[in-house]
């Protein structure tokens, strides 16, 4: 844990929660627009009729969360060893895991991201 109480896994989980909230706000806004013209529709009906527009963002968030769940806490994780040019397995905590470091790269511009989390 860091002095501010937030390790990479905790920070990344918060980013995913924020992203999910943003997607849900957009979905609710669009549902509200449909309801405003007098068309009754449930969230499930809206998503089914959206032509898959919301499937990718929701599925990506779910997949990222599942990957995060698999890589939180001490665990073994494969990485590429450039010194011998082959894959190896290392034992990592939440901050050293190469998978979590890569998963965080798309959010590296957000407040709280640390340069020490950058993939090697």
Are the C-beta atoms of residues 46 and 34 closer than 8 Å to each other? yes
Which tops the pLDDT comparison, 64 or 78? 64
Residues 6 or more apart whose CB falls under 8 angstroms from that of 92 comprise: 71, 74, 75, 76, 77, 98
Rounded Cα distance, 115 and 117, in Å: 5
The verdict on residue 3 lying in a domain is: no
Say how many domains are in the chain: 1
Strand ranges (E), 1-116: 75-81, 86-92
The verdict on residue 37 lying in a domain is: yes
Which tops the pLDDT comparison, 97 or 64? 64
User: Over the stretch 5-57, which tens digit does the pLDDT of each residue have?
Assistant: 688 889 999 999 999 999 999 999 999 999 999 989 999 999 999 888 898 99
The verdict on residue 89 lying in a domain is: yes
Inter-axis angle of helices 8-36 and 55-70, to 10 degrees?
A: 160
Give the domain range for residue 39: 8-110
The verdict on residue 117 lying in a domain is: no
pLDDT band for 72, please (50, 70, 90 cuts). Answer: confident
The verdict on residue 2 lying in a domain is: no
């Amino acid at each position: 844990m860091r002095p501010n109480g937030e390790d990479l896994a905790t920070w990344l989980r918060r980013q995913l929660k924020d992203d999910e909230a943003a997607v849900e706000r957009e979905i609710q806004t669009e549902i509200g627009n449909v309801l405003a013209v007098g068309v009754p529709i449930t969230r499930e009906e809206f998503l089914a009729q959206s032509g898959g527009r919301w499937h990718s963002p929701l599925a990506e968030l779910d997949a990222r969360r599942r990957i995060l769940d698999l890589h939180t806490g001490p665990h073994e994780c494969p990485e590429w060893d450039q010194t011998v040019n082959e894959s190896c397995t290392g034992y990592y905590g939440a901050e050293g895991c190469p998978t979590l470091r890569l998963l965080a790269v798309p959010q590296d511009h957000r407040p709280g991201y640390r340069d020490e989390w950058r993939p090697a």
